[in-house]
């Protein structure tokens, strides 16, 4: 019997050993343990065929079909593992810690590896991750109108040794209708949750954690509701920045792209912006007058921001942004003790 380990031991070991996900490619794409490599026992079509055989013909026939499928691929599994493995100890998981991970662990052991299988599989990991979101965290929510420099401030806070949970960084999206521009493809919500969990594992829940103010969705992904509720109930510092400074920052962040990307983003919010104003923005973009186009769009986002701020359970502390961001960060850090003692 090959050894199995529980989720807590798995999490302890996974940063030191290669982690192998043996589920199908589509399962892996939807969400996986961050840092793991996919060596699927079955392709998506093969998995479907084995499942159909199980339902129609029973377990024995399904196993026979599975063996017929994987037989010619056994050496390929080992070759792929040799490319990924950084030591002889490898951590292996499938969906429930059943036949797929057991079969691959057996094969890996025959090839000289020391596989450790996650008991309960990825399902156990997901359950553990989601339960962690209900733990109490000492969030300090960094708010401010679009273009206030919140992302830059979070980066500097992290450089200064502060605990930071960068949701937009994990989501590959900056939150607005324009937030997808110049970003990598977004993960699925399931995997976004896994990324949040992995970050929280590295942070001390008893100490303050800086986090940017967000709606529950960031582009196409959603913040875990338990985390979002805690954000809504946490103290907020609202950065108040000059409109010219904000426009300048947004022009730097968003205009180094195909102008059609900007137009497509305006079209996403044209009903909320107003059809006339949206067309004005598009005309300005086509003419290259990007600064004025940004100012028009900010009228909508500023209105939305003011409403969101009014819904806070704890009245935000407004903090003016003047001068150097590093100086501002030092001032923010000095306020921390007033928020959490």
What is the C-alpha separation between 333 and 279, in angstroms, rounded? 43
Which residue's entry shows tokens 């013909």? 57
DSSP output for 183-198? -PPPPPHHHHHHHHHH
Closest CA to 236 of 319, 166, 158, 165: 319
Contact 139, 115 (CB under 8 A): no
Edge-to-edge order in the sheet of strand 89-93: 4-5, 114-118, 89-93, 18-21, 37-38
How far are the Cα atoms of 6, 174, 192, 215, 292 from residue 219, in angstroms, in the given order?
34, 8, 12, 10, 25
Contact 15, 7 (CB under 8 A): no
Tell me which residues are annotated as active site.
Answer: 94
């Amino acid at each position: 019997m090959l050894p199995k380990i529980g989720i807590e031991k798995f999490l302890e070991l996974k940063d030191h050993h290669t982690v192998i996900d043996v589920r199908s490619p589509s399962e892996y794409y939807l969400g996986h343990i961050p840092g793991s490599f996919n060596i699927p026992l079955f392709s998506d079509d093969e998995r479907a065929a084995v499942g159909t055989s199980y339902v129609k013909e029973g377990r024995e026939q399904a196993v026979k079909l599975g063996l017929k499928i994987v037989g010619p691929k056994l050496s390929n599994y080992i070759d792929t593992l040799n490319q990924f493995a950084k030591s002889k100890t490898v951590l292996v998981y499938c969906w429930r810690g059943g036949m797929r991970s057991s079969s691959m662990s057996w094969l890996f052991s025959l090839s000289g590896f020391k596989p450790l299988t996650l008991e309960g599989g990825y399902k156990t990991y997901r359950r553990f991750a989601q339960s962690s979101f209900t733990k109490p965290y000492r969030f300090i929510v960094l708010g401010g109108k679009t273009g206030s420099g919140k992302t830059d401030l979070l980066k500097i806070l992290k450089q200064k040794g502060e605990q930071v949970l960068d949701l937009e960084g994990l989501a590959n999206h900056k939150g607005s209708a324009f937030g997808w521009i110049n970003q990598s493809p977004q993960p699925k919500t399931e995997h976004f949750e896994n990324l949040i969990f992995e970050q929280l594992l590295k942070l001390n829940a008893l100490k303050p954690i800086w986090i940017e103010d967000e709606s529950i969705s960031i582009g196409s992904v959603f913040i875990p509701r338990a985390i979002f509720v805690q954000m809504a109930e946490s103290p907020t510092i609202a950065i108040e920045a000059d409109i010219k400074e904000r426009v300048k920052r947004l022009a730097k962040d968003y205009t180094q792209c195909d102008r059609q990307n900007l137009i497509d983003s305006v079209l996403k919010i044209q009903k909320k912006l107003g059809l006339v104003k949206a067309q004005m923005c598009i005309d300005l973009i086509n003419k290259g007058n990007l600064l004025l186009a940004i100012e028009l769009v900010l009228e909508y986002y500023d209105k939305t921001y003011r409403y969101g701020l009014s819904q806070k359970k704890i009245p935000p502390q407004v903090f003016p942004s003047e001068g150097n961001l590093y100086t501002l960060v030092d001032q923010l850090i000095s306020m921390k003790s007033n928020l959490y003692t």
